[in-house]
Copies of this chain bind each other. A is one copy, B any other.
Amino acid sequence: MIKVTIWNEYQEERQYDHVAKVYPKGIHGALYDFLSKNEDMEVKCVTLDMEDQGLSEEILNDTDVLLWWGHQAHDLVSDEAAKRVQQHILNGMGFIPLHSAHYCKVLKEILGTSMCLRWKHDEKEKLICVNPSHPIAEGITEPIILEQEEMYGEYFDIPKPDEIIFLGWFSCGEVFRSGCTFTRGWGKIFYFQPGHEEYPIYYHPQIQKIITNAVRWAKPVNKRNNDYDNVEVKHE
C-alpha cells in the first residue's frame, strides 16, 4: 500500500469563481478523486491552512509520496516546513511537484537553482514522450493534446534531470522539458508541468495516468534511518 499525501495551497479555488468552477473540490480534490481509485494507494489531502501547514513530522512520517500544488502562496510556506519536507525527501519520500510548484520553496531548496522559466497563458500544448521505456510513460504511446494550457518555456533553470520523459510543444513557438525526474538522497522527484488552475487538465485521462504512474515510481525503495553527518570509519 502506497501512502500518498496531496498538499495544496488551496487559495485560488476559494478566491476566484472561474477557478472554483473548474476545480470545485480544489485541485487536491481532483487529484484525490482519481488517485484514491487505485487499490494500491491510500490517499489523504492536506492544505496550507491546516495545523503545521499540513506538513507536520507525523504526517510526513506517514507519507510515501507527496504531491504538491502551489502557486501564489509559495512564500507563506514556512522555512521550517520546507526544511522538514526536504529532509523527508532525502530520507526516501517521493515528491511530485506539479505545474507552478516549480517555484515552491522545497523544490528550490533541494535542487539549488533559480527554477526560473518563461510563461504565457492560453496556449495549445502537445506533450510528447521521449523516454518510452520509463515506468512513468507506461501506456502513454501517443502525444497528448491539451487545447488550452499555460505555456512554460525554456530556458528552465533546473539541474540536469536524471531523465527527461516528456517534452512539451507550445503553439506560440516554445518548448519545455515538461516531465523530468531527479534523485536526491534516498528520494525520487518527478516534476510535471501540465496543470494550470484555470484549465481542466487534471481531468484528462492520460494526465491522470501519468500522475498515477509517477506515484508508483516515486514510492521509496529503501528508507534512510541514519542521522545526517559525516561518519568516521574506525580502525578495527
Contact = CB atoms under 8 A, between A and B. Distances in A.
A221 to B, nearest CB: 5
B186 A133 contact: yes
Interface of A: 86, 90, 92, 103, 109-114, 116-120, 126, 128-135, 137-141, 151, 153-157, 159-160, 162-164, 167-169, 172-175, 177, 182-188, 220-222, 224, 228-235
Given A112-B112, A120-B233, 18 more contacts: A92-B133, A109-B112, A112-B184, A116-B228, A116-B230, A118-B230, A118-B231, A119-B231, A120-B232, A126-B173, A133-B188, A133-B222, A138-B221, A153-B233, A159-B184, A168-B175, A169-B169, A172-B233
A221 B116 contact: no
A119 B232 CA distance: 5
6 contacts: A116-B229, A131-B183, A133-B187, A140-B222, A172-B233, A175-B175
A128 B184 contact: no
A185 B167 contact: no
Contacts of A187: 133
A78 to B, nearest CB: 17
Ranked nearest first, the 10 interchain pairs of A and B with the lowest CB-CB distance are A120-B233, A110-B112, A112-B112, A114-B228, A167-B175, A169-B175, A138-B221, A118-B231, A132-B222, A118-B233
A110 B112 CA distance: 4
A133 B183 contact: yes
Contacts of A130: 154-156, 177
